[in-house]
């Protein structure tokens, strides 16, 4: 049971009241459904949750009577320093231990700092013993003492991952996730026997971006790119030309001439534009919502040629599409669709699948927003990209 409020409501910047949390997390269900609880990075009543003894220790454990394992979020204890909630690693660890956070994920503060805290009496041994007992109990309930590798099966990996059946399901999920934002003049679906199709954009061949911002152990080599998907789908007499044109990460326009050349020679232009995988997801922010890099400038040049243009968007957030809506006849929102992205996009482009996806979010007409930021809460340490130049800076 869980719902990532840290992601939906803005990571650590979310300021949530205890009333909302206690209503949101049904106390009666915890003893039944949850073996462990993740202590999110967000803030409750201006207090970072990793040090919130009142919420974790007093409410979750004492008031609700729940005695499972509480795991810090990824680097959550270390990030107390970023929030200004602790002066150093030692204080961050001690506050978290007193709040009964049992497992320190990634920060390594418990391993490196808490031995000395116990020796000088800042952390009672009984507090450590209680945390250890809860972790050992969970391992026992999971059967890990009898077989520590019971959930690891090399044979199952070979027979169930990237099989014909699993890839077919991934392709179906990809095609059904695509949203048709615009189709003026019935540009779509495209015929598979067109004389020539120009595919433009660095993202059209970006296998890593196809996997999205949280690919796990997904390998780019296993992903079908949009260009590859289109080439597989068309008839044997259709010529598919490709030009890089522009990238999401740079304002470089040196590829425009080649993109314009292949567009002039084609019956239709498929422009794959949007964001790379690293521009969205957790701890990834941008200062604006327009197409990054020189991609809109590229589209403006392509539209002037006069050939039908289909924009295929790859992105992990809503983008400001005012100009595209006014000038590009067909727009597909394809997100990051995984290993069968190219096949799923081609299925929709050529009419094998009717696009049925619906937007779960609103697309703005404005280009940028300026978020209010508390002077005492700097949010999760992450990467922020300047809207115009596409360069990234670390914030912390």
Active site residues: 73
Query: 340 has which bridge partners?
Result: none
Per-residue HEC secondary structure of the chain comes to: CCCCHHHHCCHHHCEECHHHHHHHCCHHHHHHHCCEEEECCCEECCEEHHHCHHHHHHHHHHHCCCCCEEEECCCCCCCHHHHCCCCCHHHHHHHHHHCCCCECCCCCHHHHHHHHHHHCCCCCHHHHHHHHHHHHHHHHHCCCCCCCCCCCCHHHHHHHCCCHHHHHHHHHHHHHHCEEEEEHHHCCCCCCCCCEEEEECHHHHCHHHHHCCCCCCCCHHHCCCHHHHHHHHCCCCCEEEEECCCCCCCCCCCCHHHHHHHHHCCCEEEEEEECCHHHCCCCEEECCCCCCCCHHHHHHHHHHHCCCEEEEEECCCCCCCHHHHHHCCEEEECCCCCCCHHHHHHHHHCCCCCCCCCCCCCCCCCCCCCCCCCCCCCCCCEEEECCCCCCEEEEC
**CA 391, chain centre distance (Å):** 19
Sheet harboring 43-44: ordered strands across? 15-16, 43-44, 47-48
Quick check: 350 and 192 in contact, CB under 8 A?
yes
Q: Dihedral through CA 173, CA 177, CA 183, CA 189, nearest 10?
A: 0
The CB density around residue 119, as the number of other CB atoms within 10 Å, is: 10
């Amino acid at each position: 049971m869980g719902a990532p409020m840290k992601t939906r409501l803005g990571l650590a910047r979310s300021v949530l009241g205890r009333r909302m949390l206690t209503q949101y997390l049904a106390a009666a269900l915890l003893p039944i459904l949850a073996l462990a609880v993740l202590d999110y990075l967000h803030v409750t009543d201006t207090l970072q949750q990793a040090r919130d003894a009142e919420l974790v220790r007093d409410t979750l454990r004492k008031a609700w009577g729940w005695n499972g394992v509480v795991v810090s979020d990824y680097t959550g204890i270390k990030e107390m320093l970023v929030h200004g909630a602790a002066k150093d690693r030692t204080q961050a660890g001690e506050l978290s231990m007193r709040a009964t956070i049992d497992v320190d994920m990634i920060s390594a503060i418990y391993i490196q700092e808490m031995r000395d805290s116990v020796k000088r009496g800042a952390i009672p041994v009984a507090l450590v013993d209680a945390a250890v007992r809860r972790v050992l109990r969970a391992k026992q309930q999971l059967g890990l003492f009898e077989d520590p590798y019971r959930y690891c099966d090399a044979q199952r990996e070979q027979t169930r991952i990237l099989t014909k059946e699993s890839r077919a399901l991934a392709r179906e999920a990809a095609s059904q996730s695509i949203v048709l934002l615009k189709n003026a003049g019935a540009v779509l679906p495209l015929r598979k026997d067109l004389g020539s199709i120009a595919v433009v954009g660095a993202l059209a061949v970006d296998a890593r971006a196809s996997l999205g911002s949280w690919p796990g152990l997904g390998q780019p080599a296993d992903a079908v790119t949009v260009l590859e998907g289109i080439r597989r789908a068309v008839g044997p007499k259709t010529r598919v030309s490709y030009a890089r044109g522009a990238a999401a990460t740079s304002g470089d326009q040196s590829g425009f001439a080649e993109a314009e050349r292949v567009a002039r020679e084609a019956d239709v232009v498929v422009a794959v534009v949007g964001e790379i995988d690293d521009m969205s997801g957790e701890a990834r922010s941008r200062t604006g919502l327009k197409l990054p890099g020189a991609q809109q400038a590229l589209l403006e040049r392509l539209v002037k040629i006069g050939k039908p243009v289909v924009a295929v968007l790859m992105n992990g957030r809503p983008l400001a599409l005012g100009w595209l809506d006014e000038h590009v006849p067909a727009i597909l929102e394809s997100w990051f669709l995984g290993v069968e992205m190219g096949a799923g996009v081609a299925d929709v482009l050529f009419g094998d699948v009717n696009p049925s996806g619906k937007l779960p979010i609103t697309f703005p007409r404005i280009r940028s927003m300026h978020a209010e930021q508390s002077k005492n809460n700097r949010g999760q340490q992450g990467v922020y990209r300047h809207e115009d130049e596409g360069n990234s800076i670390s914030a912390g």
